[in-house]
C-alpha cells in the first residue's frame, strides 16, 4: 500500500467516524456500510475529543461572559448534544426503558425500538444531564473543564469497539448487527488513543482510577445486557458511552 493510499484510508475512516458520531454536514463519497463503520471505529475517541473540545469552548465563552459555572456546565453539555444529535442519549433512554420493563427479552427489545420515551428513559436522561452539567460546573476553571470534557468524550467512545467485540449481539438486524465486530486492530487503537487522552488530561492517578471504574462499568453493563436481552445493541452502546462519560467527568471533578 502506498503512502498516499494509507493517508486516503485514514482520511476516509475519520470522515466515516465524524459522519456517524456527529451531525456535521459531511457527505461520504459512497454509502457507509457496517464494515466501513467498524473499520473506522479507531477514530471514535478522536471524534469524541473534538466533541469535548467544542463543549469546552462553549464553557469558556460562558465564563468570559461572567455567567455562573452551572449555567456554563448546562450550556457545555447542550453544545455536545447539538453536535452529536443526542445519538448516545437516545440509546441511554431506550436502554433504560427496555431494561426497566418486565417481560421477555423479545418484549424488552421491542420497547427499545419504540421511538417514544417512557418513565425509565426520562429519569435516566435527567440524571445523565444533571450529573454531567454538575460535574463540569464544579470545575470552575475553564482550562480544567476543557481537560475533563476532552478526556470524558474521548475515553467514553474509546471503549465502544472493545465492548462490541466482547459482548455478543442481541439482534440479527439493526445497527450493531449490521456493523459486526470491529477488527482487533481498530479496537486496540481506539483504546490506546483513549488512554493517551486520559493521561495528560487527568493525570496518572486519576487516569488509573478512571480506568478501573470504566472496567467495572463495562463488566456490569455486559452482565446486565446479556441477562436482560441476551447481548448488546446499538442502544446499549449509547448507554455504555453515557455511563463512561459520566464516570470520567466525576473522577475529574473529584481530582482537580
Q: What does the pLDDT look like over 209-240, one tens digit per residue?
A: 999 999 999 999 999 999 999 999 999 999 99
Give the pLDDT confidence score for residue 1 in this predicted structure.
40
CA distance 154 to 41: 12
Q: Which is nearest to 163 in space by CA: 107, 93, 243?
A: 243
Total domains, the chain: 1
HSE value, Cβ hemisphere, 13 Å, CA-based, for 73: 22
For residue 109, tell me if it sits in a domain: yes
For residue 125, tell me if it sits in a domain: yes
Helices 119-137, 69-84: axis angle to 10 degrees equals 130
Distances in Å between the Cα of 43 and the Cα atoms of 73, 143, 229 are 26, 24, 28
Distances in Å between the Cα of 28 and the Cα atoms of 14, 143, 161, 178 are 11, 34, 21, 18
Asked if 96 contacts 123 with a C-beta cutoff of 8 angstroms, the reply is yes
For residue 15, tell me if it sits in a domain: no
For residue 116, tell me if it sits in a domain: yes
For residue 13, tell me if it sits in a domain: no
Q: How confident is the model at residue 31 (pLDDT cuts 50, 70, 90)?
A: low
For residue 74, tell me if it sits in a domain: yes
Grid coordinates belonging to 107: 418484549
Strand partners, 169: 232
Question: Which domain range does residue 57 map to?
Answer: 34-255
Average pLDDT rounded to a whole number, residues 113-134: 96
For residue 147, tell me if it sits in a domain: yes
For residue 62, tell me if it sits in a domain: yes
Q: What is the pLDDT of residues 126-180, one digit of tens each?
A: 999 999 999 999 998 999 999 999 999 999 999 999 999 999 999 877 665 666 7
Give the pLDDT confidence score for residue 2 in this predicted structure.
45
Give the pLDDT confidence score for residue 3 in this predicted structure.
46
Give CA torsion, residues 78, 33, 191, 18, to 10 deg: -30
Give the pLDDT confidence score for residue 142 in this predicted structure.
96
Q: Which is nearest to 204 in space by CA: 136, 141, 251?
A: 251
Asked if 88 contacts 128 with a C-beta cutoff of 8 angstroms, the reply is no
Q: What is the pLDDT of residues 89-110, one digit of tens each?
A: 999 999 999 999 878 999 999 9
Amino acid at each position: 500500500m502506498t503512502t498516499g493510499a494509507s493517508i486516503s484510508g485514514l482520511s476516509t475512516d475519520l470522515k466515516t467516524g465524524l459522519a456517524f458520531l456527529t451531525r456535521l454536514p459531511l457527505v461520504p463519497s459512497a454509502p457507509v456500510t457496517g464494515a466501513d463503520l467498524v473499520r473506522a471505529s479507531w477514530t471514535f475517541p478522536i471524534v469524541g475529543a473534538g466533541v469535548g473540545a467544542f463543549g469546552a469552548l462553549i464553557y469558556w465563552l460562558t465564563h468570559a461572559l461572567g455567567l455562573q459555572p452551572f449555567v456554563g456546565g448546562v450550556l457545555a453539555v447542550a453544545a455536545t448534544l447539538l453536535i452529536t444529535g443526542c445519538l448516545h442519549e437516545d440509546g441511554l433512554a431506550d436502554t433504560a426503558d427496555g431494561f426497566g420493563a418486565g417481560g421477555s427479552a423479545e418484549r424488552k427489545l421491542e420497547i427499545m425500538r419504540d421511538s417514544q420515551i417512557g418513565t425509565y428513559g426520562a429519569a435516566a436522561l435527567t440524571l445523565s444531564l444533571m450529573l454531567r452539567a454538575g460535574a463540569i460546573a464544579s470545575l470552575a476553571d475553564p482550562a480544567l473543564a476543557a481537560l475533563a470534557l476532552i478526556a470524558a468524550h474521548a475515553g467514553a467512545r474509546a471503549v465502544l469497539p472493545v465492548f462490541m467485540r466482547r459482548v455478543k449481539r442481541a439482534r440479527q438486524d439493526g445497527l450493531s448487527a449490521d456493523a459486526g465486530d470491529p477488527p482487533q486492530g481498530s479496537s486496540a487503537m481506539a483504546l490506546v488513543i483513549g488512554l493517551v487522552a486520559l493521561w495528560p488530561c487527568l493525570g496518572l492517578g486519576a487516569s488509573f482510577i478512571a480506568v478501573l471504574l470504566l472496567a467495572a462499568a463495562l463488566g456490569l453493563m455486559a452482565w446486565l445486557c446479556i441477562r436482560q436481552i441476551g447481548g448488546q445493541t446499538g442502544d446499549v452502546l449509547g448507554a455504555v458511552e453515557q455511563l463512561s462519560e459520566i464516570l470520567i467527568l466525576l473522577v475529574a471533578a473529584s481530582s482537580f
